Amino acid sequence: MKKTRSHSKKGLIILIIITVVLCAVTVLKKQEQPEEYTENKSDYIDSVRPDIDVELLTPNEYSRAGIATNKITGIVIHYTANPGASAMNNRDYFEGLKDSHITKASSNFVVGLEGEIVQCVPTWEMAYASNRRNIDTVSIECCHPDETGKFNQKTYQSMVDLCAWLCLKFDLNENDVIRHYDVTGKICPKYFVEHEDEWEQFKKDVDVQIAVVEQEVETASQQ
């Protein structure tokens, strides 16, 4: 009788241990699985979208591989490093990689010298811009007129407007807007890396614009 009870206790203990281990494995697997892409969709959010010229790249393995992004957790700012080039110049360079095979490179958006915004890759697809953060960020390449990397006022304002709208779309804030430098240490965007105060001001301007578009969305939803 005692042996039977002893065996029963041992069996119960083993069962509990197995249950605990299985639960732990399940939790770990859930933690390892990245959240899927999602975005806030509504006519009101679309109504405050800045003007965007959608010029999607041809699907290809060098600039638009069609790899799905995970949940968007950040926006990465880049500079093009080719002074004087337009947004379409940069977009066409990415397009040409399907034939030249020089490298793998692209960006979700390019902001031009006249403030124009060109979309190259959908936000639910990965662009080749931000290294290990390609999978969970939206990338923005920004044009500049000279070697200093400083953005002119038209480019700067469109950068602010686009970042604010994307923050609204993906439930982000100004602190989720980062530089390529913050991912890899690369001096990109050059002016914002060399002038930390200007970078902090840019984030403040994005924060102000987020409040503006949120108010616009609220007003539109009440009409």
Lowest mean pLDDT among 12-26, 37-51, 121-135: 12-26
SS3 for 174-200 is HHHEEEHHHHHCCCCCHHHHHCHHHHH
CA of 18: how far to CAs of 4, 25, 150, 159, 183, in Å? 21, 11, 60, 54, 41
Residue 6 buriedness (CB in 10 A; 0-12 / 13-18 / 19+) = exposed
* Angle, alpha carbons 213-217-220 (nearest 5°): 135
Query: Half-sphere exposure of residue 205, counting CA atoms within 13 Å on the CB side?
Result: 15
Average pLDDT taken over every residue of the chain? 92
The residue ranking higher by pLDDT, 168 or 10, is: 168
pLDDT at 25: 52
What amino acid is encoded at 212 in this protein?
Answer: V
pLDDT at 14: 72
The residue ranking higher by pLDDT, 49 or 15, is: 49
Domain map of the chain by residue range? 1-33, 43-222
Lowest mean pLDDT among 25-29, 129-133, 180-184, 211-215: 25-29
| pLDDT band, residue 181 (cuts 50/70/90) | very high
CATH number corresponding to 43-222: 3.40.80.10
